[in-house]
Structures are given as C-alpha cells and as structure tokens.
Copies of this chain bind each other. A is one copy, B any other.
Amino acid sequence: MSIIYSIDLIGTFVFAISGVMTGISKKFDIFGTLVLGFVTAIGGGTLRDMLTGALPVAWIQDINYVILIIAALPMVYLFQKQILKLRKTMFLFDSIGIGLFTVLGVQKTLALGLSPIICILMGAIGAVFGGVLRDTLSNEVPLIFRKEIYATACLLGGTIFYFLLQLAIPIYVAQSISIFIVILIRILAVRNHWSLNFNK
C-alpha cells in the first residue's frame, strides 16, 4: 500500500502540473490556474467518491494532496521551458497516472461491495474525469471525447485488473500488470493513431 500511495501522490502531482500548464496557456490568472490544477488532479477521484457515497472525499482528509497540488504552481512557472521540453516524460507520467487511478478506483469500489462492471466504470471515471472537468471549465469540448483511446485504456485495464484479482496471485502483481497494460495501450494508441471513430 505504501508504494501505491507514493505513486498516487506522484499521479496527483503530474495531473496538477497538466492543469496548471493548461491554465497558463489559456492566460488564466494565478488563482484560476491553481483551480485548474486542483480540478484536474482531484476531479476524477472526487466524482467517484461522491457517486459511491465515500464522503468526505479522500483529499479532504489528507493534506498531502493539497500541498502537492499547490506546489505544482511554482514548479511549472519556474521550469516552464524545461517542462515543455519534457512533453514525452509528461505523457508517460500522465499514462502512469491514469493507470494507477484506474487500479485504485476499481480496488476501492470493490471494497464497497459494488458489482464488477460498476467498479470498472468507477475506476475509469476516477482516472479521466479530472481532465474532462479541466476542459469544460476552460470552455473546450473535452479532448477525451475526440482523442485517441484514453478512457478505453482505463476500462480495459480495469477489466483485466478485476479478472487478475480472481486468480491466486499477489495483489501487487495484479496491480502492476494492469497499470502496465493501461500505459502500453495508451502509448500504442498515440503512436499508431488508434481511435474509435464511427466514420472512416
């Protein structure tokens, strides 16, 4: 659980950076930028917890999340150029983030006794909804609605995670495999321009 918790915090931090970068590129002021960082980092988990009644939501009870999100603001501002060069690293971190949030979400909601399909759905919602809120607040059609396989990677990863949990393997192996699969699908999808369009 300690490793998971660490990577969870890293994921939160990376999503916060992505939100802050959007805020700066949209010329939001400092507060607006911070809000976008927040929303991107905690939006998904918050919706998941509100839907399942796991209230108060997790980040309200653990100050580390808030500290990391606030820390993302000076980080991005000071190292703007370097971070833009690190785009590929960012993309990898983002993929790690959604992979981890998927697994965490599935695990957390299974523990509430909800049915598997719902749990996989909650895993995907927790992973991607932060980005949906970020785009809605900055007045864009959420990218997730137009882009390469993104939430689909979470749904697949969550499904695999659920079936791995039925086998007699240690949980951290199931977690690692599932997170890896989400990341792999994401990388392959972007590299090969996979999409799920109806037309053409």
Give A contacts to B, CB under 8 Å: 23-24, 26-33, 35-36, 46, 50-53, 55-57, 60-61, 63, 66, 77, 112, 114-115, 117-118, 121-122, 132, 136-142, 144-147, 149-152, 155, 195-199
Residues of B within 8 A of A139 (CB): 139-141
B196 touches A29 (CB 8 A): yes
- Give how many copies assemble into the complex: 3
Residues of B within 8 A of A136 (CB): 136-137
A146 touches B29 (CB 8 A): yes
B55 touches A56 (CB 8 A): no
B28 touches A115 (CB 8 A): no
- Given contacts A52-B55, A151-B31, is CB(A61)–CB(B140) below 8 Å? no
Residues of B within 8 A of A197 (CB): 27, 29-30
B145 touches A196 (CB 8 A): no
A46 touches B35 (CB 8 A): no
Q: How far, in angstroms, from A152 to B33 measured CA to CA in the complex?
A: 12
Q: How far, in angstroms, from A121 to B28 measured CA to CA in the complex?
A: 19
Q: How far, in angstroms, from A46 to B122 measured CA to CA in the complex?
A: 14
Q: How far, in angstroms, from A38 to B24 measured CA to CA in the complex?
A: 31
Q: How far, in angstroms, from A56 to B63 measured CA to CA in the complex?
A: 25
Q: How far, in angstroms, from A138 to B81 measured CA to CA in the complex?
A: 32
B55 touches A53 (CB 8 A): yes
B146 touches A142 (CB 8 A): no
Residues of B within 8 A of A137 (CB): 132, 136, 141-142, 145
Looking at the assembled complex, report how far the CB atom of A119 sits from the nearest CB atom of chain B, in whole angstroms. 10
- Given contacts A55-B52, A56-B52, is CB(A150)–CB(B117) below 8 Å? no
